[in-house]
Structure 1
Amino acid sequence: MESKRQQKMASLLQQELAQVLQRDLPHLFGGGLVPSISAVSVTPDLAVARVHLSLLLGGDAAERVEAIREHTKEIRFALGKRIRKQVRVVPELTFYHDDSAAYASHMDKVLSQLDIPPAPPEEQEDKPETPRPRLFNPKDDE
């Protein structure tokens, strides 16, 4: 369970890293699609941030994550310039590939290909409804 402090820092890092990757450093991706940041988690001491990148289009995800890892110093420096008045120390950044969107797409495709027959209609029996037992006798109230 993350503390409020960790959650605030993770939210700040997610917003600012998105700005850094899209506006300040788009040249790092060679004219390709800029990855989106799906999640950021921060350690309790706020020293390390785990950044999960969603790389849906644009080639091999492992190569793209490795290219981003090579430019971690530049990304951290640009991030530090943006958040220097809000934090004391800019956390170390570790980047991971988040393939949850691709997995969800794959599962959706698998489920749509299933051939599930409709359920048979339920037969309604003509049973007389049994009366509920009374918890008290209405004659006792009089």
Structure 2
Amino acid sequence: MAREFSRTERVGQQVHKEVASIIQNEYKHRVGDLPLITVSDVEVSRDLSYAKIYVTIYGEDVDGKAQIKQLDEAKGFIRSLLAKRIRMRAVPQLAFYEDKSITEGMRISNLVSEVVAKDEARHQDDEDEQQ
């Protein structure tokens, strides 16, 4: 039997979709040239009054803390646009957090690939010496 989604999960999905759209379309035009910011997850409290929004920030030499600070400063603007798009009695308070899991995963994957390549090169050198 399929599991039904709770109200908090449905609201979280809708907030995720709308905030991602707002950041991509309206927010960038308001602030200017920004690195690529994606919404990776949204957690809504059980009473639907707070939403933790986890964002991943892509780009070289990008200060994630500064970008999160800019998002925090614009959360009133983002929340007002969200209120116009979502039909709810009360729109949740927004809090932005940097999600480093994707960039850390890519960094670890690159490290593993480097170690495997070095190991293969060393193994190839050993075989060449034996012949």
Common topology (TM > 0.5): yes
User: Is the Cα–Cα contact under 8 Å of residues 21 and 34 in structure 1 kept in the other structure?
Assistant: no
Q: Deviations over 1:5-47 (max 9, x none)?
A: 1110000000011111122222344212341100000111010
Q: Deviations over 1:95-140 (max 9, x none)?
A: 00001111001110111122276xxxxxxxxxxxxxxxxxxxxxxx
Aligned match of 1:60: 63
Gaps of 5+ in 2: 124-131
Aligned match of 2:92: 91
Q: 2: CA distance between counterparts of 1:75 and 1:45?
A: 20
Q: 1: CA distance between counterparts of 2:71 and 2:30?
A: 8
Which of 70, 73, 78 does residue 75 from structure 1 map onto?
78
Q: Give the secondary-structure state (helix, strand or coil) at the position aligned to 1:113.
A: helix
Q: 1: CA distance between counterparts of 2:31 and 2:55?
A: 13
Identical columns (%): 27
State the TM-score, normalized to the length of structure 2.
Answer: 0.79
Q: 2: CA distance between counterparts of 1:11 and 1:48?
A: 14
> Which has more strand, going by share of residues?
2
Q: Deviations over 1:67-111 (max 9, x none)?
A: 11111111111111111xx21110000000001111001110111
Aligned match of 1:105: 106
User: Is the Cα–Cα contact under 8 Å of residues 52 and 94 in structure 2 kept in the other structure?
Assistant: yes
In our comparison, the structure showing a higher alpha carbon Rg is 1
Aligned CA RMSD, in angstroms, stands at: 1.9
Gaps of 5+ in 1: 118-142
State the TM-score, normalized to the length of structure 1.
Answer: 0.73
Shift of 1:57: 1.1
